[in-house]
Chains A and B, each alone.
Chain A
Amino acid sequence: MNSEYLFAHKHILGLDHLSVPDIEHILTTAESFKEISARTIKKVPVLRGKTVVTLFFEPSTRTRLSFDIAAKRMSADTFSISASTSSTTKGETLADTARNIEAMMPDVIIMRHPSSGAPHYLARHIKTSVINAGDGTHEHPSQGLLDLMTVKEHKGNISGLKVAIIGDISHSRVAHSDIIGFAKMGAHVFVSGPATLIPKKIEKLGATVCSSIEEAVTNADVVMPLRIQKERQNDPLIPSFREYATFFGINRQVLQAAKADALLMHPGPINRGVELAPDVADSPQSVILDQVTNGVAIRMALIYLVLGGK
């Protein structure tokens, strides 16, 4: 990294406001942190005395644990709050909740929220650093970054690769961050799935829309099916999981169209037998667990960098 570069972000709200040098710097930082998790004593003192709060308005196992482990491996103190959104609609607003937390002087608030833009709203109302751990159907920046890290790790580079993302593009914040991230880093992103789940003008975000999943997957370097839901908020999206698995699921046969060394990725949790055939999920091509491992390193890097680490 050239010495003039300075990571200047106080908040990590999405990949759309990160530049290519920002992303490269985060990945390099995460790569250097990855080794810490492999040590016998998995702890470094860089964030000793710092307080990290995870504020989750949606259920999460993996992301929350990953942030928690990431902060602890750098010796930060972590505290987690699970707020059900119903309790806030009964009274306290998000701004009040956040101001109360801020009054206890944390250094970083990591938030997951069902409303798109909620972390942006939070960042407007408080001075503490905000890291978006997933907002509505908008972005999931740490997931997008760990996906970039995983691909880079296995392929050596990202630029020029063909990345196929299959499934519910409309409601997937992972897909949005991945499309933005991979496109920024020079990959060619193809998306496909039921037309009910392909949002308007997604191509302007940097993706090519394919009418069949075979077309998207052919010669791909990376294949990523997304978790699927049958309907959302009274909106019928697909007739059944069975039909989805038949026409849009990633199985051995579909995957054969991809490059022989293609990586299979999934943001998890997997609906085995729906968007992903079980044998494929466990195949050597699958880097799903590498994604999870890299997630810790990426989150260590994000917390470190927003707190002014170089």
Chain B
Amino acid sequence: MVQPQAILLKNCRILDPANKLDKKASLLVEKGKIKAIFTSRQKAPVLPKKLLSFDLNGKWVVPGLIDMHVHLREPGEEHKETIETGSRAAAAGGFTAVACMPNTLPVNDCQSVTRLILEKAETAYARVYPVGAISKGSMGETLAEFGEMKKAGAVAVTDDGKPVLDSQLLRRALEYASNHKMLVISHSEDAGLSRNGAMNEGFLSTSMGLKGIPHIAEEIMVYRDIAVAGYTGCNLHLAHISTRESVNLIRQAKKRGCPVSAETAPHYFMLTEEAVKDYNTNAKMNPPLRTPEDRAAIIEGLQDGTIDAVATDHAPHSILEKDIEFDRAANGIIGLETALPLALELHRKGHIDANRLVELLSSNPARILGVKGGSLGIGEAADITVIDPEQRFVFQEQDILSKSKNSPFIGSALQGKAVLTLCGGRITHNLLLE
């Protein structure tokens, strides 16, 4: 990773919804920080002699993308991903920061695991924000040590991968997390209704002979989560929302002032259950891909603000877990290197404007997690993504930087790409010529 003294991004479209900025301008980075933003009519700042300069010719410059939901698999499952490979994939996808879920081996349920992750992250290609477990071992029984994990650097807590089935435990987690100003993230799933399920329940699951997961398995718990958040008055973030009724429930909850936020993943607004046809394990995930109606409702939720963020739920699995019988295959797909082009697809189709896209992928995740970034304010760390919204490419397996290749988008023609990623002024990804 190179850290140039100064970088000038010329002739770009600066998109910074946090500062209500959408204009043609140039941006100067000096000593890892955003030094100035200036238009051609304004007086240019004094440029340092040693300057790396890019003429961007209208490409977008946005605050570094933040993925609030990834699985980096380290410690414990390094054959799937490591903090290094995962953060390289993040940088290539335009992300300058990721929040990594605690379902590692061992579970990140105490400060020593949190510290280990952050030590490994010192040489990573993106900022890594560890998310600790809600319960010890994510077993759903007793609270993990939120305070110590926070002190060690964790930004939120969740038992992601598993739902918190005991409502009292969720309530206590919300209450106790408020002392430490930590966000609680819920994986909303009624484990009884989803038990042994392999895909969305409906005609397709029936005709494929696979046990289905009904949409109510998510919605019942989304409602429960909203009720507990409303009752305690504590912030709760709902992960990977996939169904129409979940979107409705969140919309109503927000209307009455309930302190909830929500994310969805690109696959839920791009794909439907049809993708699992022919037993494609690279389209197997939890929650499962749903119906066209659910997909439409997710897009609507992204438009009207019901859903606050797009997160990838990047879930690397090797062929050992994926190239096997469908019902035995692991859940999850990688997403860091495809999230941006897929979100841009929503923009091209006219569902969201460019500012909303930046909110969903950068400023909102920063706000919800309570971390820096998500803005191009003068003096802030230069976490910056340069996007070429026009560039077309075919997403190919050999180009994937993540250690795992489990993506249903392999072979897809995509449009729009991160061409330069700066993390604290360091170049973590660069497809541009100077």
- Determine if A95 and B323 form an interchain contact, defined as CB atoms under 8 angstroms apart: yes
Report B310-325 CB contacts with A as 1/0, cut-off 8 Å. 0000000000100111
Which residues of B have CB within 8 Å of A72?
Answer: none
Chain B min CB distance to A8 (Å)? 19
Residue positions of B touching A, CB distance < 8 A: 195-196, 201-203, 205-212, 214, 278-279, 320, 323-328
- Answer yes or no: A254 CB below 8 A from chain B CBs: no
Report A212-248 CB contacts with B as 1/0, cut-off 8 Å. 0000000000000000000001110000000000000
Contact of B209 among A94, A95, A135 (CB under 8 A): A135
Which residues of B have CB within 8 Å of A204?
Answer: 203, 206-207
Chain A min CB distance to B368 (Å)? 35
- Determine if A234 and B324 form an interchain contact, defined as CB atoms under 8 angstroms apart: no
Which residues of B have CB within 8 Å of A115?
Answer: 325-328
- Bound-state Cα–Cα, A65 to B279, Å: 29
Which residues of A have CB within 8 Å of B326?
Answer: 115-117, 121
Which residues of A have CB within 8 Å of B205?
Answer: 199-200
Report A151-183 CB contacts with B as 1/0, cut-off 8 Å. 000000000000000000000010010000000
Which residues of A have CB within 8 Å of B328?
Answer: 89, 115
Which residues of B have CB within 8 Å of A89?
Answer: 328
Report A133-158 CB contacts with B as 1/0, cut-off 8 Å. 00111110000000000000000000
- Determine if B323 and A200 form an interchain contact, defined as CB atoms under 8 angstroms apart: no
- Bound-state Cα–Cα, A135 to B207, Å: 12
- Determine if A117 and B206 form an interchain contact, defined as CB atoms under 8 angstroms apart: no
Which of A95, A135, A138, A233: most chain B CB closer than 10 A?
Answer: A138
- Bound-state Cα–Cα, A235 to B194, Å: 11
Which residues of A have CB within 8 Å of B210?
Answer: 116-117, 136-138
- Bound-state Cα–Cα, A202 to B201, Å: 11
Of all chain B residues, the one with the shortest Cβ separation from A198 is B206
20 A-B pairs with C-beta separation under 8 A? A89-B328, A93-B323, A95-B323, A116-B209, A116-B279, A117-B209, A117-B210, A120-B279, A121-B279, A137-B211, A138-B208, A138-B209, A173-B209, A199-B212, A200-B203, A200-B205, A201-B202, A201-B203, A205-B206, A233-B196
Chain A min CB distance to B221 (Å)? 19
Which residues of B have CB within 8 Å of A138?
Answer: 208-210
Of all A-B residue pairs in the complex, the 5 with the closest CB atoms, nearest first, are A138-B209, A117-B279, A116-B209, A115-B325, A201-B203
- Bound-state Cα–Cα, A89 to B209, Å: 21
- Answer yes or no: A16 CB below 8 A from chain B CBs: yes
- Bound-state Cα–Cα, A176 to B203, Å: 12
Question: Which A residues, 81 to 126, have Cβ-Cβ distances below 8 Å to chain B?
Answer: 89, 93-95, 113, 115-118, 120-121
Chain A min CB distance to B58 (Å)? 45
Other A-B contacts than A116-B326, A135-B209, 4 sampled, CB-CB below 8 A, are: A120-B279, A136-B210, A176-B207, A205-B206
Tally of contacts, chain A with chain B, CB under 8 A: 74
Which residues of A have CB within 8 Å of B203?
Answer: 200-201, 204-205
The verdict on A205 contacting B207 (CB below 8 Å), with A116-B326, A136-B327 known, is: yes
Which residues of B have CB within 8 Å of A139?
Answer: 209
Chain A min CB distance to B112 (Å)? 32
Of all chain A residues, the one with the shortest Cβ separation from B324 is A93
Which residues of B have CB within 8 Å of A173?
Answer: 209
- Bound-state Cα–Cα, A53 to B320, Å: 26
Chain B min CB distance to A235 (Å)? 7
Contact of B208 among A93, A117, A121, A202 (CB under 8 A): A117
The verdict on A200 contacting B208 (CB below 8 Å), with A115-B328, A120-B279 known, is: no
Contact of A116 among B201, B208, B214, B320 (CB under 8 A): B208
- Bound-state Cα–Cα, A235 to B208, Å: 19
- Bound-state Cα–Cα, A205 to B214, Å: 19
Chain A min CB distance to B224 (Å)? 21
Chain A min CB distance to B327 (Å)? 5
Chain A min CB distance to B202 (Å)? 6
The verdict on A201 contacting B196 (CB below 8 Å), with A115-B326, A117-B325 known, is: no
Which residues of B have CB within 8 Å of A235?
Answer: 195-196
Which residues of A have CB within 8 Å of B214?
Answer: 200
Chain B min CB distance to A106 (Å)? 21
Contact of B206 among A135, A136, A201, A234 (CB under 8 A): A201
Contact of B325 among A121, A176, A199, A202 (CB under 8 A): A121
